[in-house]
């Protein structure tokens, strides 16, 4: 069972990080309505990261793999430390919806839409992606394949 004090600290930290990102988005997108800001964050969150990962997997150089590994580590770390994804919370703030990007996959798998299931599938997916990239990176280091 989680320590209630550390859980409260995690939620407080997540709230501060989310509020900082919201303030940043409000600053740079001040002329746009909140719905559009939410759509931009969603696009970056879902399509932006997916495109970067796809591109890096097929055309990436060593630096790109290192960057993906660093970002992947930070994502997994924030899922543990902050008890969820901060970009999802920012999206929910702007879009006024409780859904997440993983709800589509949970629906496809006929799994209940609960926060625990969302966290579990997010952590599993990010861990698999991280391990795949780490394996490819290690292959490059030890076998000196085509990555430059």
Per-residue pLDDT, 84: 81
Q: Residue 55: give the domain boundaries.
A: 4-143
In a domain, 106, yes or no: yes
Per-residue pLDDT, 131: 86
In a domain, 32, yes or no: yes
Nearest-10 crossing angle of helices 86-95, 4-28? 60
Residues shown for the chain: 148
Q: What is the pLDDT along the chain (148 residues), one digit of tens a residue?
A: 455 555 678 888 889 999 999 999 999 999 999 999 999 998 988 887 777 777 777 776 777 777 777 888 888 888 878 888 888 899 999 999 888 878 888 889 898 988 888 888 888 888 888 888 888 777 777 776 665 5
Note the helical H segments in the chain. Answer: 4-28, 34-42, 49-59, 62-81, 86-95, 103-108, 115-143
Determine the Cα angle at 144 with ends 139 and 145, to 5°: 75
pTM: 0.73
In a domain, 148, yes or no: no
Give residue 13's Cα distance to chain centre. Answer: 17
Count how many domains the chain has.
1
In a domain, 93, yes or no: yes
């Amino acid at each position: 069972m989680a320590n209630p004090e550390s859980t409260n600290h995690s939620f407080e930290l997540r709230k501060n990080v989310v509020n900082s990102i919201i303030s940043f988005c409000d600053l740079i997108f001040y002329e746009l309505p909140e719905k559009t800001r939410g759509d931009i964050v969603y696009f970056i969150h879902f399509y932006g990261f997916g495109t970067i990962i796809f591109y890096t997997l097929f055309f990436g150089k060593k630096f790109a793999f290192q960057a993906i590994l660093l970002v992947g580590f930070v994502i997994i770390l924030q899922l543990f430390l902050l008890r969820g994804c901060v970009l999802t919370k920012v999206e929910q703030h702007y879009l006024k919806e409780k859904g997440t990007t993983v709800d589509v996959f949970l629906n496809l798998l006929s799994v209940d839409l609960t926060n625990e299931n969302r966290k579990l599938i997010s952590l599993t997916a990010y861990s698999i992606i991280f391990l795949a990239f780490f394996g490819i990176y290690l292959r490059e280091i030890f076998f000196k394949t085509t990555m430059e």
